[in-house]
Each structure stands twice: as C-alpha cells, then as structure tokens.
Amino acid sequence: MVITIKKGATKAEIEKALAKLDSRRKVSLKKYFGSLKRGLDGLTYQKEARRED
C-alpha cells in the first residue's frame, strides 16, 4: 500500500494517513525465521528448490 503525503500536509492529515496503515491485518513473520539452514548457499538452495540445472 502506498500513501502519498504532500509537502504542505498538516499534522492531522498525516495522522489520518498513518491511521489507514494500522487498520491492515498484521502478518507474523516468525514462521519464516530459521527456515534455511546456516551455511547453506542461497543460489544452490534456489536451484535445488526449483530443480534447475
């Protein structure tokens, strides 16, 4: 989502625009932490995952 705030915007207008961001559902990224093993090369992993040669 992109919110445009013009140069001459008042504090109330900026707070109103920022309030729109808070209404969105927040996604937890914890389930993605630690999904790759340490020491694994990223390119090698991608090729194996996509089965590219």
Residue 29 identity (one-letter amino acid) = L
The residue assigned the tokens 């995952």 is: 49
H helix or E strand, kind and range, residue 11: helix 11-22
Q: pLDDT truncated to tens, each residue of the chain (53 aa)?
A: 677 888 898 989 888 887 877 555 667 767 767 666 677 787 888 888 888 65
Contacts of 9 (CB under 8 A, 6+ apart): 17
The residue assigned the tokens 């590219």 is: 52
The reported pLDDT for the residue numbered 46 is 83
